Amino acid sequence: MNIISCNYYQHDFDAIGSASSRLVLGVGAESSDQLPARATRAVAARLGTTTVTFPSNHGGFLGDEYGMPGKPAEFAATLREVLSQRT
């Protein structure tokens, strides 16, 4: 299980924030206050940016194959829209 080791990982926010790549932090519309969404909002706040809300839950890109069905078509449309925006 990697959840135990993940709790102790220390992000290098200076390096992340100064990267030349564009960083898009996404949360699922249905994820509300679940751990993945809370963690993503905390990282965004630390980096001085905001999150993008994607349709469905934190696995919104998934179909019905894993028991937590998402909305893959709507997720893909949102992703295309976000990635086509210039910053």
Domain regions of the chain by residue span = 21-84
Tens digit of pLDDT at every position of the chain (87 positions): 566 777 788 889 999 999 998 899 999 888 888 888 898 999 999 999 999 999 987 777 777 887 778 888 898 999 999 999 876
> How many whole angstroms separate alpha carbon 57 and alpha carbon 26?
11
> Phi then psi for 74, rounded to 5 degrees?
-70, -35
Total-model pTM: 0.76
Q: Give the H or E element holding residue 4.
A: helix 3-6
Q: Sign of the C-alpha dihedral, residues 56, 40, 38, 68?
A: positive
> Phi then psi for 46, rounded to 5 degrees?
-65, -35
> How many whole angstroms separate alpha carbon 23 and alpha carbon 77?
18
